[in-house]
């Protein structure tokens, strides 16, 4: 099956978004998105229904804040959702939107400097319209660029994150379906290992089943990026696993793969109860939701790179900590 029509629709949507301004963005979104669009976004936006509401509540304020906003696209591919009947096509992208931060956004004071908003988005295509979107973006990273410190020091590295090592993430043409199936197979194997936390083997050995030794894990601000299996285990995986109890089963709404790339998202992916130590915060005893987008690049028969988007503002809000209010002094309901 060719995914070119769906890809062209999303590329045209992105071009319209990039070319419009805050005053005209409503018409651009309405042109490509269904009137009853279901949009799932990062806290404080959360779930929004309706193309016009998405335009006025998210795109309009963001475009008013970032002068000359443009998109830097690093990954772009499409596929059939494995959790649905054949023919439910989603298009996934990842990169940054950037511009000059000239006006406040979410109470964050402008710097007048170039600022990046790291994002990933899934778009469900039905006919000639986008009917669902999941768009997660790293607001804490945006805050750090404005000189704020939303979280305690993280275990990984704080970076403006690049795209794939080989710069081969833009799958604008059709690809061999067999390659996408290989990618989905290794992601499935990895997810089954990751989701249980009790494989009975040392963590590093478990990871080596599906990851290259020199893996790259591009985590969200508050956790950070890390490199190689030993450092990933030390700087994220082991601290994360030991900081939580009663992890639920993993549940995804969409998983797709094309070529060497694959991705999934959930709403939420799983729940867990913090037992203390996660991101330097104390235990609460309250179950918390993890809304996550994961993107992967396969090399051979194992995974090489992983880009992670976790709605940490939503998670900590559920734990009684409003990061935006604490950091910028404005409550975000």
Range of the domain at 265: 177-328
Return d(Cα 157, Cα 116) in angstroms, integer: 17
**Which single residue is written with the structure tokens 């949009």?**
39
Is the pTM of the predicted complex or chain greater than 0.85? yes
Would residue 158 count as lying in a domain? no
pLDDT digits (tens, 9 = 90+) for 202-240: 999 999 999 999 999 999 999 999 999 999 999 999 999
Q: For residue 169, is it within any domain?
A: no
**Residue 247 phi, psi dihedral angles, 5° rounding:** -70, 130
Strand partners, 71: 97
CA 306 to chain centre: 11
Can you tell me the distance from the alpha carbon of 75 to that of 95, in angstroms, rounded to the nearest whole number? 7
Residue 214 sits in a domain whose CATH number is 3.10.450.50
204 & 101 share domain:
no
Q: In angstroms, what CA-CA distances link 238 with 188, 198, 277, 304, 321?
A: 21, 12, 12, 19, 24
Q: In the numeric block, which tokens belong to residue 163?
A: 């795209």
pLDDT-derived band at 194, boundaries 50, 70, 90 = confident
Confirm whether 160 is domain-assigned.
no
pLDDT score, position 277: 78
Those residues whose C-beta lies under 8 Å from the C-beta of residue 283, and which sit 6 or more positions away, are 274, 275, 276, 277
- Tell me if 154 is assigned to some domain: no
Q: Is 258 in the same domain as 184?
A: yes
How far apart are the C-alpha atoms of 92 and 183, rounded to whole Å?
15
pLDDT at 24 over 60: yes
Q: Does residue 163 lie within any of the structural domains?
A: no
Tokens 């000359």 sit on residue: 68
136 and 182 within one domain: no
Structure tokens at 185: 């197979």
Q: Mean pLDDT of all residues in the chain?
A: 95
**Pair (115, 211) in one structural domain:** no
Q: Is the domain of 185 the same as that of 323? A: yes
Decide if 165 is inside a domain: no
Q: Do residue 193 and residue 308 come from a single domain? A: yes
> Would you say residue 267 lies in a domain?
yes
Position 332 confidence tier, pLDDT thresholds 50, 70, 90: low
Task: Kindly state whether residues 99 and 186 are assigned to the same domain.
Answer: no
Which of 126, 145, 164 is the last residue before a domain boundary?
145
Q: Of 291, 332, 327, which Cα lies nearest the Cα of 137?
A: 291
Q: How many domains does the chain have?
A: 2
Are 308 and 224 in contact, with CB atoms under 8 Å apart?
no
Q: Are 289 and 314 in contact (CB under 8 A)?
A: yes
Task: State whether 187 and 313 are in the same domain.
Answer: yes
218 within domain boundaries? yes
Cα distance between residue 123 and residue 233, in whole Å: 32
Query: pLDDT for 64-98, tens place per residue?
Result: 999 999 999 999 999 999 999 989 999 999 999 99
Same domain assignment for residues 57 and 140: yes
Same-domain check for residues 86 and 131: yes
Q: Is the domain of 233 the same as that of 104?
A: no
For residues 112 and 202, state if they share a domain: no
């Amino acid at each position: 099956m060719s995914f070119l029509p769906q890809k062209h629709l999303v590329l045209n949507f992105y071009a319209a978004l990039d070319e419009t301004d805050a005053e005209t963005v409503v018409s651009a979104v309405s042109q490509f998105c269904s009137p009853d669009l279901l949009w799932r976004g990062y806290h404080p936006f959360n779930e929004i229904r309706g193309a016009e509401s998405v335009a006025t509540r998210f795109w309009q304020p963001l475009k008013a804040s970032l002068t000359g906003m443009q998109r830097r696209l690093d990954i772009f591919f499409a596929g059939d959702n494995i959790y649905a009947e054949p023919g439910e096509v989603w298009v996934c992208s990842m990169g940054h939107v950037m511009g000059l931060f000239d006006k406040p956004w979410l109470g964050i004071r402008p710097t007048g400097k170039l600022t990046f908003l790291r994002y990933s988005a899934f778009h469900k295509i039905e006919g000639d319209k986008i009917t669902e979107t999941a768009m997660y973006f790293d607001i804490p990273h945006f805050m750090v660029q404005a000189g704020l410190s939303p979280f305690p020091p993280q275990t990984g590295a704080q970076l403006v994150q690049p795209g794939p090592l080989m710069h081969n993430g833009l799958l604008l043409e059709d690809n061999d379906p067999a390659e996408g199936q290989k990618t989905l197979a290794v992601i499935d194997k990895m997810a089954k290992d990751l989701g249980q936390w009790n494989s009975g083997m040392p963590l590093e050995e478990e990871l080596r089943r599906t990851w290259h030794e020199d893996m790259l894990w591009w985590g969200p601000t508050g956790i950070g990026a890390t490199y190689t299996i030993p450092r990933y285990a030390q700087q994220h995986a082991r601290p994360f696993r030991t900081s939580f109890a009663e992890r639920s089963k993993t549940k995804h709404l969409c998983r797709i793969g094309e070529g060497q790339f694959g991705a999934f998202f959930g709403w939420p992916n799983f729940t867990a109860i913090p037992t203390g130590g996660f991101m330097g915060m104390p235990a609460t005893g309250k179950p918390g939701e993890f809304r996550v987008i994961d993107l992967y690049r396969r090399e051979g028969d194992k995974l090489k790179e992983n880009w992670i988007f976790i709605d940490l503002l939503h998670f900590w809000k559920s734990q009684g900590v409003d990061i935006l209010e604490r950091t910028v002094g404005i409550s975000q309901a």
